[in-house]
Homo-oligomer: A and B are copies of this chain.
């Protein structure tokens, strides 16, 4: 059975994000999947998202990938803990540490692992790899929007 991406379980009205919204035709439409004890997203950025020097991803996109995938990781982890459906999280705080330049033209792997869940707050530790190269690490504090707690179970 094919796994459903976490972003495809966001409520219709909350699925417009440029980074990860299925309803944003201009955006990246990132897809994140639960895998073991982690959440994984694979994405190959377009060449025009270059940094100052061509051939490397611009820092803002590294931050975007970690941020959107962090939100998905939080949503999935909270749904698994509560047994309820996938809610929608917003970022309270995001930190990115850039370890190495992120090459373009390579599929990137972004991994998220939950550090703590406390009510509507979820802390996630993140990493971004290009092949074997660890390009960036990050951490986010995500907060669940009160208006997004669907009752049905999601099956992630």
- By a beta-carbon cutoff of 8 Å, the part of chain A in contact with chain B is 10, 13-21, 24-27, 48-54, 58-61, 63-65, 67-68, 71, 88, 90-98, 101
Copies in the complex: 2
Are the C-beta atoms of B96 and A59 separated by less than 8 Å? no
* Dominant secondary structure at the A interface: mixed
Extra 14 A-B pairs, beta carbons < 8 Å, given A21-B52, A60-B65: A13-B53, A14-B53, A16-B51, A19-B58, A19-B60, A20-B52, A58-B64, A59-B94, A60-B63, A60-B68, A63-B94, A92-B97, A92-B98, A95-B95
Known interface pairs A64-B64, A67-B60. Does A17 touch B94 (Cβ–Cβ under 8 Å)?
A: no
